[in-house]
């Protein structure tokens, strides 16, 4: 038996693509029911979610995600993470849904889903336009009362935000009532430096905010996250990630003193 040629491989991939695009809602609905009824594994759900993301069943896929949002906590997140496979059609669909009054209760979660999808498309022509279109919604939803949803939105601003969002994150790092929102705000400031915002733009605008947040923070894990984010931005080494994750009080408090001492001299 001869080895397969490049054309053979491409033909096989195209056949598989067409087969997944031809999947019907009845087929996928029956398959999903079996997954829920049986003792399905993450791999089973992963395969189902990837097939659904490769299909033309945008509305059905989104309806399953909404079902999961309604039954929080979500056991399997594969459906959420595979929606990007619908490509620009999926992005356009989500923006249409984001402005629909009938889906208003999901608007914050839809914005988070769009942001998650866009992180897969930073190299595509539609990325910048879609990012600019989404940012006003993300800013609006930073005030949502639900802590879990607010955390997700704060994280997405770290992926997609600009210099204009630095002070918004600083406000949440210092004043948000939820400790994880404060932690993720600091992390998002650091994440911005990996997503198009220069380190200098961040450090020149946040030094006093980091000092104030570090001095005032009483939650040890959150304190560790804020100090760790600051040390990455200022290229220092005050605390290890493992010490933060383990909530090592002695090491975190020692790092706090070092961070305040350094930042106060800048």
**Tell me: the pLDDT tens digits for 3-58?**
778 776 676 766 777 777 888 999 999 999 988 887 777 889 999 999 999 999 99
Q: Which residues 6+ apart lie within 8 Å of 81 measured at CB?
A: 49, 116
Check if the beta carbon of residue 244 is closer than 8 Å to that of residue 252: yes
Alpha helices in the chain (DSSP H): 6-21, 25-37, 42-53, 58-70, 78-81, 87-98, 107-118, 127-141, 147-160, 166-175, 179-192, 199-216, 220-233, 241-245, 249-264
Give the CA count within 13 Å in the CB-facing half-sphere of 264.
Answer: 10
- pTM passes above 0.75: yes
pLDDT band at 72 (very low <50, low <70, confident <90, very high): low
Structure tokens at 194: 């990996």
What are 175-224's pLDDT values in tens digits? Answer: 999 999 999 999 999 999 999 999 999 999 999 999 999 999 999 999 99
Share of the chain above pLDDT 90, in %: 81
Comparing C-alpha atoms, which of 60, 56, 66 is closest to residue 21?
A: 56
- Helices 249-264 and 220-233 meet at what angle, rounded to 10? 40
Confidence bin at 110 (pLDDT 50/70/90): very high
């Amino acid at each position: 038996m001869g080895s397969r040629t490049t054309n053979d491989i491409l033909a096989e991939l195209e056949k598989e693509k067409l087969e997944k695009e031809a999947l019907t809602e009845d087929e996928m609905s029956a398959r999903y029911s079996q997954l829920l009824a049986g003792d399905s594994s993450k791999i089973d759900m992963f395969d189902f979610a990837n097939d659904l993301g490769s299909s033309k069943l945008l509305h059905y896929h989104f309806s399953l995600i909404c079902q999961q949002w309604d039954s929080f906590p979500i056991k399997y997140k594969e459906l959420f993470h595979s929606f990007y496979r619908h490509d620009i059609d999926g992005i356009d669909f989500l923006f249409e849904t984001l402005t629909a009054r009938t889906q208003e209760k999901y608007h914050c979660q839809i914005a988070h889903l769009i942001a998650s999808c866009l992180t897969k498309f930073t190299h595509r022509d539609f990325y910048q336009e879609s990012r600019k279109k989404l940012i006003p919604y993300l800013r609006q939803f930073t005030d949502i009362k639900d802590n879990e949803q607010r955390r997700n939105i704060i994280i997405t601003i770290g992926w997609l935000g600009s210099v204009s969002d630095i002070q918004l994150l600083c406000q949440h790092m210092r004043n948000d009532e939820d400790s994880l929102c404060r932690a993720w705000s600091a992390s998002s400031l650091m994440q911005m430096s990996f997503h198009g915002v220069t380190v200098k733009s961040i450090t020149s605008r946040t030094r006093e905010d980091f000092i104030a947040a570090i001095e005032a923070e009483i939650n040890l894990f959150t304190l560790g996250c804020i100090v760790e984010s600051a040390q990455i931005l200022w290229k220092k080494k005050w605390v290890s990630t493992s010490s933060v994750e383990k909530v090592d009080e002695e090491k975190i408090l020692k790092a706090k003193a070092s961070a305040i001492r350094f930042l106060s001299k800048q």
